[in-house]
Chain A
Amino acid sequence: MKYIRQFGIILLISALGEGLHILLPLPVPASVYGLLLMLAALSAGVLKVGQVREVSGFLIEIMPVMFIPAGVGLLTSWDALKPVWLPVTIITILTTIIVMVVTGRVTQAVIRKGNGGQKK
């Protein structure tokens, strides 16, 4: 029963996120609205972590698997990708690594300055 209720709450918030996505003319997906709604509900005390803990832990744990179908879908976009694959691959690899390094180093530098430092 516990799991049914937890999953029910999560699906309800997902559905509310979907509703906001339809109502508001912003390029924000239902999942992001849902995340913000869940955060708001927890912060406001409307929802307790204990009411969703197990099922949310389970869903987060199996999350990597959920990207497999989208990844396999690259098979179908190969035709579109073919003419530009080399520059696109180079740009993708370089920018991903650069962004990771910059974000990590900047955050770390500011934390080490004891929150008193400035950006970069």
Chain B
Amino acid sequence: MKEFLENSVFFGAFISLAAYEVGLILKKKFKMAIFNPLLIAILCVMAVLTLLNVDYEAYNEGGKYISYLLTPATVCLAVPLYEQLTLLRKNLKAVAAGILSGVLTSLVSVFLLAMLFGFNHEQYVTLLPKSITTAIGMGVSEELGGIVTITVAVIIITGVLGNMAAELVYKMFHIHDPIARGLALGTSAHAIGTAKAMELGEVEGAMSSLAIVVAGILTVAAASVFAGFI
């Protein structure tokens, strides 16, 4: 059995989809932010691997074919974005102000909290790119001398957290405008947040996609300045 699981190329992909299905069922039943399908799926797969004593590498033999689609899927985010270009042009000022303030807030808040916890330079720059998409964030962390493994972990946790918390946060802070909702998800929680924005609506999804690109590029530039602060 174990030997089969460690050699199967379909097992990893299958349990990922099955675990997401479990997440969807739980979400439907309990309707609470904590029952986020993505979070449930990740925890379920972790539990199955631990229980069956299967290595992550063996799981990823199948899992990597799901991850493989991530680049084409991100490319496709241009389609909803293109369909909302008129709306974007009309609200250019608000969009620019929103993303820029979000990027600066991210860097400033990481800086202040890192100071508070007495982080050294390496630990601080590891967290600086935490709100941007993984591939850009890894590059920033590496360039500034951070610990890339932790950066990746924190970026993923950030994404899942943003995906989970968005609806509650929007309710608590009265964020109702679809453009604002989309930008907030994309700027704070990159592509994983965008997956949530797509569920909220077309405008939300398009704005979130835009925020991934703009916030990612702005962070590359601004993080190199912020890196000098600690």
Beyond A87-B119, A120-B101, whether A108 also contacts B177 by CB under 8 A is yes
Q: Name the residue in A68, A77, A108 with the highest tally of chain B Cβ atoms < 10 Å from its Cβ.
A: A68
Q: Residues of A contacting B2 with CB < 8 Å?
A: none
For the complex, count residues of A whose C-beta is within 8 A of B.
Answer: 79
| Contacts of B18-74 to chain A: CB distance below 8 A | 19-20, 37-38, 41-42, 45-46, 49, 56, 59-60, 63-64, 66-67, 69-74
Report how far A59 CA is from B198 CA in the complex, Å.
Answer: 12
Report how far A27 CA is from B138 CA in the complex, Å.
Answer: 9
- Among B56, B119, B220, the residue within 8 A (CB) of A73 is B56
Give the shortest distance, in Å, between B169 (CB) and chain A (any CB): 5
Which residue of chain A has the shortest Cβ distance to B187 in the bound complex? A103
- Among A61, A69, A81, A103, the residue within 8 A (CB) of B16 is A69
Main secondary structure of the interface of A (DSSP, over half): helix
User: Any chain A CB within 8 A of the CB of B201?
Assistant: no
Give the shortest distance, in Å, between A15 (CB) and chain B (any CB): 9
Known A-B contacts: A14-B72, A37-B78, A38-B75. Give 6 more (CB < 8 A).
A32-B212, A72-B16, A75-B56, A96-B130, A107-B95, A110-B97
